[in-house]
Structure 1
Amino acid sequence: MNVVRNAVHNALRPALRSRPYATYVPPASLKEVGPGQRPWLSSRQPPESPNFYTGRAEYYDSLNDLETSIQHTRAALTSLQLLPLPAFARAAIPPAQHVWQTKQDIIQRMRMTLSTTRYRRLIKLLNQLDQYRRIADVAGVDVLTERIEGVLSVFEKPNKEAILAHGKKKPVAFDDYGRTYTIGRRKTSTARVWTIAVQRPPEEPVEEQNADGQTADEEVLPQMESTVVSAIEYIPPKPVKVTSTNIVINNRPLVEYFPQLADRERVILPFKIAGLVGAYNVFSIVRGGGSTGQSGAISLGIAKALAAHVPDVEPLLQKAKLLRRDPRMVERKKTNRRKARAAVRRPCFHRLRRY
């Protein structure tokens, strides 16, 4: 083996000596030699980021940038005595209105696989930084707010304004007569509801009496008798009686359309919670479904109308969950089932008696 090794070494020795880096160059002479004239040195430059060798360099660079931004922002808010906030000040901060990019959008931008755990970690840092942005915005620190928005805009969807505008509820409009038109849905029922305030007649002024105890009309009547108008009898106007709230459904009264008490209570529940029983008249046209679905649809339409007429009662209706559509529906029937889950009862032939 030693003989073969020496023979190979002697054969390759001339080739090794012919290489440029095999010759010895003094270090002092390398000072005047440029980097392009050093073929024995590698031309590769060191990576810009220390996360280059992790396999997810862009992801960890983003995490490091967010953590650095959070640290600097927290230090700035603390120096301005805006952190920590008491409970009542934290409740006064406006709610978050961010639309982050989805997991697939970030994967497509970074061109790498991203697990759900890493995505949640990224979103957690973004939410914390957005909370600091809202604090700075309320406090009026515009410089800090603009810098944070520049960082958050990288991870938000480009059509953020359109998405937020689509989620907002359209305000209920009033017509020339002061009526509101709302729509309520429940199960397969749809109700169109028109709501108008009850018109109260103006109070009649109290007639003043003179020293003899006669009113102004009683003084005029004897004078009218001496003229041609004396033949016409004086008829005082009758006061107009105003009834309580009228709820008309498909041109039928509430009691006649919903004979069951539970359905009627469901319809007038928004009036009871808002304390506006007898203050508004309701005319509704409802289609589809049964009595439960129709009464729930009318109740939703009435609640929306009352929130538009009296904005002060909107928190009460919202807390009672009357301003949101009830999403519960009947589960569809399944194949080989009697209904959604109930199985078909089949006879047991082995138990039948043979006659």
Structure 2
Amino acid sequence: MNITRTLRGPVQGALRARFYATTTRQFIPPAQLDDIQPSFKRSAHPSQQLDSAEEEDPRTRSLNAPSSPSFYTARPAYYDQVEQIETAIKHARQALKTLQLLPLPEFARASLPPLQPVWKDKDEMSTVFENKMTTSRYRKVLTLLNQLNDYHRIAKTAGCEQLAEGISHVVEFFERGNKDAVLARGKRKAVSLDQHGRSYTFGKRKTSAARVWMIPVQPGAQGITPAVPKSALEAESSEPPASVDVTPSTILVNNIPLAEYFHLPADRERVVRPFKVAGVLGAYNVFVLARGGGTTGQSGAIAHGIAKGLVVHEPDLDTVLRRSKLLRRDPRMVERKKTGMAKARKRYTWVKR
């Protein structure tokens, strides 16, 4: 027989029906009766009602409703801001649909002018939302803001100034203050010609650098043919003498002619390649100051600077030179030597003993 199971029922019944010895009613300390609130309030005579609400017990007053539905969440400020953004998106969508600007076909959306925003980072967004922004919350906010910015592009392109201005007020609140500086960070300053019509560009290749000055050849100096005196033999010959065209254009590298500075034909061909691709060989005078590296690096740096100078003089050549990869700085560098190897990749001969 299980004694524990047998005694469990009577003991539990006795504990539930426990009474104090002094009375059959359960004893309640008088001090606890002071904090008991009545379940209902009897309607008193009008003359006996309180004259002002301040005289009532503050514990009996009914609490006011919270100002925001997200009051009971852990992040009420965050959810309030998100709700306001969603409301702005809803109103903008309804306005664009009323104006028959939504939905847009794909070709029309692709033709919209770009309107690149610069949103605040997570730290700045944490200050705006008065809460720490995790990656998931930050992405959710950016998704909503990008959608609102898309509606801003449509309204601005369609000429709806009032709607575009209203959306821009919401968008600008979440953008950085240095937006213009951030957008201009990756742009290069446009190179212009000086008072003499010269262009100044800078080229690089490996560890070499070249400063290039270019100026167009004067129209009157092209096609100059020197006067060749006729000898007695040529006078007697019936064949006309061959004319020799003297090219007025010159390429000086460190104040030395190109043919004397670069002895290898490959280096000279690399320098004049931008002129050949653009079809303007002999149309410019070039003066170069090259520093660092060897002949291969310097010739590549000069070609890079010449290609950039041609675009300054003739912007229409940008597409041709860019497709030929002459405007792009060659990122290849010399590979470093490794420990235990003869060079970067050359290994020593393995000897068994």
Same fold (TM over 0.5): yes
In 1, the alpha carbon distance for the partners of 2:55 and 2:218 equals 94
Aligned identity (percent) is 47
Indicate whether 1:68 and 2:87 are aligned.
yes
CA distance in 2, matches of 1:45, 1:324: 68
2:205 counterpart of 1:186: yes
Give the equivalent residue in structure 1 for 2:214. Answer: 195
- Is contact 1:303-1:323 (8 Å) kept? yes
| Conservation of the 8 A alpha-carbon contact between 2:213 and 2:288 | yes
SS in 1 for 2:219: coil
In terms of Rg, which structure is larger? Answer: 2
- 1:25 aligned partner: 41
Instruction: Give the corresponding residue for 1:238.
Output: none
Which amino acid is the alignment partner of residue 252 of structure 1? I
- The 3 A distance-change label for structure 1 pair 156 and 260 is farther
CA RMSD, aligned part only?
4.0
Counterparts of 2:222 and 2:297, CA distance in 1: 42
Q: Say if 2:67 is the partner of 1:48.
A: yes
1:1-355 correspondence runs (5 A): 1=15, 2-3=18-19, 10-12=27-29, 14-19=30-35, 21-22=37-38, 24-26=40-42, 34=53, 37-41=56-60, 45-86=64-105, 89-201=108-220, 243=247, 245-260=249-264, 262-330=266-334, 336=339, 338=341, 351-352=352-353
Number of equivalences? 313
Secondary structure of the structure 2 residue equivalent to 1:182? strand
What's the secondary structure of 2:310's corresponding residue? helix
5+ long unaligned stretches in structure 2 = 1-14, 224-244
Q: Which stretch of the first structure deviates more once superposed, 157-166 or 53-62?
A: 53-62
C-alpha distance in 2 between matches for 1:302 and 1:345 = 42
Q: Deviations over 1:281-315 (max 9, x none)?
A: 22211111234433332233223222221222334
What are the Cα deviations for residues 134-192 of structure 1, in whole angstroms up to 9, with x where unaligned? 23222222212222221111221111223334433212122221001111223322211
Q: In the superposition, relative to structure 1, how do residues 337 and 43 fare at CA in structure 2: closer, same or farther (>3 Å)?
A: farther
Contact 1:247 1:283 in 2 (8 A): yes
| Residue 24 of structure 1, CA deviation | 4.3
Structure 1 pair 84–284 and aligned structure 2 pair: CA distance change class (3 A):
farther
> Equivalent residue for 1:226?
none
State whether residues 198 and 245 of structure 1, in contact with CA within 8 Å, keep that contact through their aligned partners in structure 2. Answer: yes
SS of equivalent to 1:195: strand
Q: Report the CA distance shift for 1:60/1:15 in structure 2 as closer, same or farther (over 3 A).
A: same
Q: Which residue of 2 aligns with 1:224?
A: none
* Alpha-carbon spacing, 1:22–1:80, altered in 2? closer, same or farther (3 Å): closer
Cα distance 1:190–1:242, how it changes in 2: closer, same or farther (>3 A)?
A: same
Q: Once structures 1 and 2 are overlaid, which stretch shifts more, 282-291 or 308-317? A: 308-317
Contact 1:337 1:343 in 2 (8 A): no
Q: 1:340 to 1:317 in 2, by over 3 A?
A: same
- Amino acid corresponding to residue 282 of structure 1 in structure 2: V
Cα separation, 2, equivalents of 1:261 and 1:41: 101
TM-score relative to the length of structure 2: 0.71
Partners of 2:54 and 2:323 in 1: CA distance: 74
